[in-house]
A and B are shown apart, each in its own frame.
Chain A
Amino acid sequence: MSADATTRTGRPGNASRGSIRLEGIVKRHGATTVLHDVDLAIEPGEFFVLLGPSGSGKTTTLRILAGLESVSAGSVTMDGEDVTTTPPGERDVAMVFQSYALYPHMSVAANIGFPLRMVKVPAAEVARAVEAAATKVGIQHLLARTPGQLSGGQQQRCALARAIVREPRLFLLDEPLSNLDAKLRLETRLELHSLQRNLGVTTVYVTHDQEEAMTLADRIAVFMDGRIVQVGTPREVFATPQTRAVAGFIGTPPMNLLEGVWQGDTVTVAGHAFPVGAHAAAPRDVTLGVRPGDVRVADGGLPAHVERVEDLGDTAVLSYRAAGALVKQKTDRTVVREGDDVTLGFAPGSAHLFDRTTGARL
């Protein structure tokens, strides 16, 4: 993975820079623990996404990397150096905040140059670096303005330029696209991706938007309730969710989860047996997971009532009431109408099984 990432950056000089380790990180706020024993290893040049619902601890983890939050236990290591108690300004990391946090009383140029001026870089050099950074994000014509005179997208670019101007070893991005409208978000996402590839700087990106995570990440860490429940490439996280919670979080719409009993080669849901590709000797309570894209209308399947048809143009999302649960199907061919009664099956080999009590993948 790491070798892959560094060759892709095309900047081997960065290969040794931006290696990040979190070990046994615990964070408590008074009596509540917001992070439980978080371990993470991020390789140089990697685009690493922290994904999870709000309150899952992903932003806290990012702030710990920034040095804006202290840890209750554990250590943060960057390029082999223990930075657990190093102040934010001495960690050689740059951050883009969700609100951008631009300095409203300074021009765009002064904003971008600020991190350089703070360490007494000569003015001529600052001006050159500001120009270069602004050009990379396409706001070189706006340098004389103040942040208040910029659009949301331009402010976002200004914040990015302020981060890249210092060529840090680590970029921290806290939901940087969440304040942009849908169309601009998609465009900026692509630009952000190629910018990171060109610069080759290790990037940690926080989002609750799994689509952003899937498209941007080299690897994703999925956060749930203050724990990392899975780390892997977007493909791995989507194809083999390690817990029921991850399965129920990833995907639009997320995976259907049905309670059933697994015995032999089948899982029985509401009296109907589905063949699965694995064998259980003794009966076992499980949760059967099926991606909406793998649900089929098939003869002799689970009886279901069509509750809702959401036509998205090229695809449709169908909601069924089946076995007392809501089952979603994503399809490009709508053969049913609201109010129909049908029977459902699913594509062979598409079943995911999770332990009913622990939620772990079987």
Chain B
Amino acid sequence: MIVAKPHPIRAIAVPVLTGAALAIWAFPVLWALLTSFKTERDVLAYPPSLIFTPTLANYHDVLFGATSIVPNLWSSVIVAVGATFFTVVFAVPAAYALARLRYPAKRASGFYVLATQMLPPVGLIIPYYLVLQRVGGLDTYFGLILIDLTLTLPFAIWLMVSYFEDVPLEMEEAALLDRAGRFGALWHVILPQVRGGIAVTTIFVFLNTWNEFLFAVVIGGNRVRPVTVAMFNFMSVEQTQWARLAAGATLAMLPVILIGLFAQRHIVKGLTVGAVKGGGRR
């Protein structure tokens, strides 16, 4: 980590640019949040009104009404948590091996992992559909999680490798000499130092699987219908229920934002853990 003295231009440019980026990012979120408290009539008012009588009717509808998205939220939780769990469980040892162990074709396999990301998922959806149909995996959590893994695992491995590579080999050797054994070294010395990386990976995978729509709509069905697919139902040929859609979207965003806030501490910690020698004193 290189800490440079801020250049005068940088001192101005950084807050301005981050402010602009934040505004662009925050505007639709705030818009959705506002819309979720409006009645359908207020939503369609022109010019759009900032002053209106807020209502919780939309939230009541999407939580307890006929079009409740609670089962879909639950569906999303199962898919996202399941996919995230298995991604991390597989990615951590795989990345550790890629970062540490010497074996033939290591570079090639590392590139292969990344190369799988270069295929557009939409090109894979038909083969996946056919394969899952054959094994009875359509409209099952198993099927959707499995397909999500093909999407998340390569990137998660690739992300984790760099974190493992940042842990000096000598530290692991020190742990071996300190009688920790290979698993002890991994558990007590290596993993605590890559926990920032694990947190980042977890968030990334959770976000991706929570937001995932394409596979969910094709592989899913009546039993497995994540919230992204369910919200699609608020749009129909006759009309779009903007206010309910906004309420649903707000609820769908909530866990993602909460997890982001919670994990932020770990991410920052993961980036600032002292290095081998004179960490933090450079």
| Known A-B contacts A88-B173, A99-B168, A118-B184; A148 and B178 likewise in contact (beta carbons under 8 Å) | no
- List the B side residues contacting A149 at CB < 8 Å: 280
Partner of B276, one of A67, A93, A101: A101
In this assembly, does A102 line the interface, its C-beta being within 8 Å of a C-beta of chain B?
yes
**Is B15 an interface position by the 8 A CB rule?**
no
Which residues of chain A (311-340) have a CB below 8 Å from chain B?
none
One of B171, B188, B274 near A146 (C-beta < 8 A):
B274
Nearest CB in chain B: distance from A207 CB, A: 17
Asked if B275 CB lies within 8 Å of chain A CBs, one says yes
Q: Is A104 an interface residue (CB 8 A)?
A: yes
Q: How many residues on A have C-beta within 8 angstroms of the other chain's C-beta atoms? A: 32
A162 part of interface (Cβ distance < 8 Å) = yes
Residue on A with the closest CB to B277?
A99
Indicate if the CB atoms of B274 and A89 lie closer than 8 Å: no
Q: Is B174 in contact with A95, judged by CB distance below 8 angstroms?
A: yes
With A95-B174, A101-B171, A103-B189 as known contacts, state yes or no: A119 contacts B179, CB within 8 Å: yes
Report Cα–Cα, A37/B184, bound state, in Å. Answer: 34
| B65: Cβ under 8 A from any A Cβ | no
Interface hits, B141-194 → A, CB 8 Å:
168, 170-171, 173-181, 184, 188-189, 192-193
Least Cβ–Cβ distance between A178 and chain B, in angstroms: 11
Give chain A residues whose Cβ lies under 8 Å from the Cβ of B175. 103, 114
Contact of B178 among A68, A100, A152, A162 (CB under 8 A): A162
From the candidates A68, A89, A100, A146, name the one contacting B180 in the complex (CB within 8 A).
A89
> A105: which B residues are within 8 A, CB to CB?
192-193, 273
A97 interface contact, C-beta 8 A: yes
**Counting CB contacts under 8 A, is A87 at the interface?**
yes
Which one, B168, B171, B178, B274, contacts A118 given CB within 8 A? B178
Q: How far is B188's CA from A68's CA once the two chains are assembled, in angstroms?
A: 19
- Is B48 among interface residues, defined by CB-CB distance under 8 A? no
Report if B281 contacts A (CB, 8 A).
Answer: yes
Structural contact, B177 and A95, CB atoms closer than 8 A: yes
Q: Any chain B CB within 8 A of the CB of A147?
A: yes
Identify the closest chain B residue to A93 (Cβ). Answer: B177
Do residues A104 and B274 form an inter-chain contact, with CB atoms below 8 A? yes
Within 8 A of B (CB), among A132-171: 146-149, 151-152, 155, 162
Nearest Cβ on chain A to B170's Cβ, whole angstroms: 4
Across the interface, name the chain A residue whose C-beta is closest to B182.
A87
- Besides A104-B276, A105-B193, A151-B278, 8 other A-B contacts (C-beta < 8 A): A68-B177, A89-B180, A89-B181, A97-B170, A119-B179, A149-B280, A162-B178, A179-B277
